[in-house]
Structure formats: C-alpha cells, structure tokens
Structure 1
Amino acid sequence: MKLKFCGLTRIEDIEAANETRPDYIGFVFADSRRHVSDLDAARLKEHLDPEIKAVGVFVNDEPEHIAALVRDEVIDLIQLHGDENEHYIKKLRRLTNAPIIYAVRVETHRDIEEADRLPVDYLLLDTYVKHAYGGSGKTFDWSLIGETSHPYFLAGGLNEENITRAAQTGAYALDLSSGIETDDTKDTDKMRRVAALVKGAHQ
C-alpha cells in the first residue's frame, strides 16, 4: 500500500514528508489554495528526500509546460485533474516518458470504466462535486469502484478515521490532502498518525 500526501506548499511540509516517508508528495500547479509556482515547487523539490516521488497536479494545462517541469526534475509523475482527453494524453506522451495519473471524479462506475480505457499508467479516483476539479474533502461510495485494469490512487475525504478501511479497497495508493491539515495547513502530527496507520494496515 502506497501513500501520497498532496498539496504541499511550504518547506515545513517537505520536512514533515521527509520524516513521515510517504511514497509520493503532490505539488498543485492548478488554481487552488494549495497552488505553488514553478519556482516554488523547484525550491521545495530540492529539499525533498530523493526516495520520495513528486507528483505535479494539473488542470487543463499546456502539455509543453508539464513536460518542462519533468525535464527540469521538479516533478517525477504527472496527475491530470481536468478535462484532458485521449488526444491530449497522446500529445503529452510524445513530450515526456513520465508516468501519468488520470483523475476520475466518480459519480457512477461508468466514469471509471471510461477512464480505464485511456493510455495512462494510473487512475486516481476522487469524489464528484459539481463545478469542482477535486479537493472537496468528501468521500464517495467506494462500492462503485469494482474491477479496474489500471492500479488506482484513492482520494477524496481520506483521514485518520477512515484510512484503515480505505486500505482494504484494493487501491494501489491512498491520497490525502485536507485529511492531513489543521486550519488549512499541513499538520505534521496528522501526517505521522496516518503514515503509521497505513503501515500498520499492511504489516
């Protein structure tokens, strides 16, 4: 079971990640309260333990911009969280070899089935909220997941209370953002407890 802490914005967040050892951290380049600039992400990445992979989160961004961030070693994986289609993904594939995570806002199992046909490496299953691309802090009905041909990250409202149950869903990785925050700021103690729970669920 892999673990991702998303929406890191400060050097303190990076230090907490280096201590708590998630497999992935996320930098949000899309419009969000957790947005980081290219320059800030590059500075933060310099302090990140090289064994922890950095994921760039994008919503309908220019493929050339994304590829440049991979080339400059600011990010290791790409997470698409907008309306990117197969044509877009194929263009991105021509520009970079970085693994691609495709976010699905799950309303029905059909949403997952359609995304499962895309030429990506992972899916990320998140909660459908009208007019929002993610970050809602709400869970969805995990019984909708069913079989997928791609390994998937499970996101949407994960926290200390439900993380152990989430670990039983068959997800490749669990992805937390608001669930490791207090007053909209990353909370090192919550990160520690979540990391321990995920590790404990797979002893």
Structure 2
Amino acid sequence: MTKIKLCGLSRIEDIEAANMLKPDFIGFVFASKSKRRVSHLKAAELKSKLNPETKAVGVFLDDDLDTVGALMNLGIVDMVQLHGSEDEEYIAKLRAITDKPIIKAFIINNENDVRLAEESSADYILLDGGKGEGRAFNWKLLEEIKRPFFLAGGLNTDNAEAAVADLHPFAVDVSTGIETDGVKDKEKMTAFVAAVRKGEAR
C-alpha cells in the first residue's frame, strides 16, 4: 500500500484534518525561507495534537546539524527530511546525533539525478521537481529505478491516482496540491487521499 505524506501543516485545523484522514506521515517545515515555516514551539504544540500513529517529519534546508538533532531528540519530529544540498558527510554526522530515520530529497532533472538518489545512504529518498514549489518532473525518468521512493512535486487531486497506479511509489508527498490560496484545504486533503487509494486499486 502506498504511504501518504501531507506536508507543510501549520495550523491546528490541519492536524485535525490529518487525524481524520490518517496519513502515514505529516510534515512540519522548518526551512527559514519557506512560507510554510513553523517555529519549534508551534511544531511541538501541533505534534501534541497529532494522532501518534502518524509520523511527524521535520523538513530542513541546509540547517545546522545541532538544530536538527535537537528537534529530533526532543521528540518534536519522528523523522528528518533533508531538502537542501546536504551531502553524505552531513548524513553521517546526523546519524551520530540521532537514530531517527532520514529522508533525503533530490531534485530530478535527468537520469543522472535518479542514479545519485539511488546511491544515497539515507533511509529513504524523496524525488521532487523543486524545493516546495509544487513543480512536477518527467516521471518517465523513473521507469528503471530500483529503489523505493517518495514521489513529490506537482502532485494533486487530479494526478495522484495515475501517479500511484503507474509508478507504484513507496509513498507520495503533497503540499501545494492540497492548498487553496496558500492554506491547507480539508476538502482537497480528503480528495487527495481518496485519489491515492483509488490508484492502488487500479
């Protein structure tokens, strides 16, 4: 069964919707330049309301290792997603700080990008078209991929069913595609989850 990650949650209403929909993961964005950024205190508040069966993923962009490690070890997030230029050395140092699972995001423009993603030492890889802009990439580049992956970038209620049916990703990750005017939309969140489940049945 394809797992679902609803990313960029920032309000109590978002958490309440997630608790109803029961995704496998939700994401808190800590990247300073993101419009979806939440403070550490806000993330802790939201995490306290989250169904414990749903894993909270902290999304970071070239952040200080100590900051990332502290959030992980305080229990505010259950997993870390590295969405910047973090390299293998960074991942190794992070593993020395925490034993929580690591997702490394890769922007996919060509076959070489897919190869680099497959070689990552991270626990999971996430394949994206950008850095949170909701931009899709050419899914044909994934025809030969050998490693399970999170699919992100440009996913929405209209294409999630086909993405799951055609690519069989380990998980799908959506943020922009479940928003209206930059705010999470409960109806779109519900429709997205339904589309993923429909794609699995095809």
Distance in 2 (CA, whole Å) between partners of 1:166 and 1:191 is 16
TM-score by length of 1: 0.94
| Structure 1 vs Structure 2 CA RMSD | 1.1
More helix by share: 2
2: CA distance, partners of 1:82 / 1:140: 17
Matched, 1:175 2:173: yes
Matched ranges for 1:18-167 at <5 A: 18-30=19-31, 31-128=33-130, 134-167=131-164
Deviation at 1:40, TM superposition (A): 0.6
Q: Which residue of 1 aligns with 2:191?
A: 193
Deviations 1:126-145 (A, max 9, x none): 004xxxxx112121110111
Structure 1 CA distance for aligned equivalents of residues 72 and 88 of structure 2: 20
| Aligned partner letter, 1:13 | D
TM-score by length of 2: 0.94
Given that residues 163 and 199 in structure 2 are in contact (C-alpha distance below 8 angstroms), is that contact kept between their aligned partners in structure 1? no
Asked if structure 1 preserves the Cα contact closer than 8 Å seen for 2:21 and 2:193, the reply is: yes
Further displaced range: 166-175 or 142-151:
142-151
Whole-angstrom CA distance in 2 between matches of 1:26 and 1:92: 19
For residues 127 and 157 of structure 1, the distance between their equivalents in structure 2, rounded to whole angstroms, comes to 7
CA shift at 1:170, angstroms?
2.3
Off by >6 Å, runs of 4+ in structure 1: none
Quick one: percent identity of the two aligned structures?
A: 49
State how far apart, in whole Å, the 1-side matches of 2:147 and 2:102 are: 11
Equivalenced residue count is: 198
Q: Give the structure 1 partner of residue 8 of structure 2.
A: 7
CA distance in 2, matches of 1:152, 1:115: 9
Q: Distance in 1 between matches of 2:88 and 2:44?
A: 29
Which runs of no fewer than 5 residues in structure 1 stay unpaired? 129-133
CA contact 1:67–1:96 (8 Å) conserved in 2? yes
- The question of whether the paired residues in 2 share the 8 Å contact of 1:21 and 1:195 is answered with no
> What are structure 2's unaligned runs of at least 5 residues?
none
Q: How many angstroms apart in 2 are the aligned matches of 1:147 and 1:48? A: 37
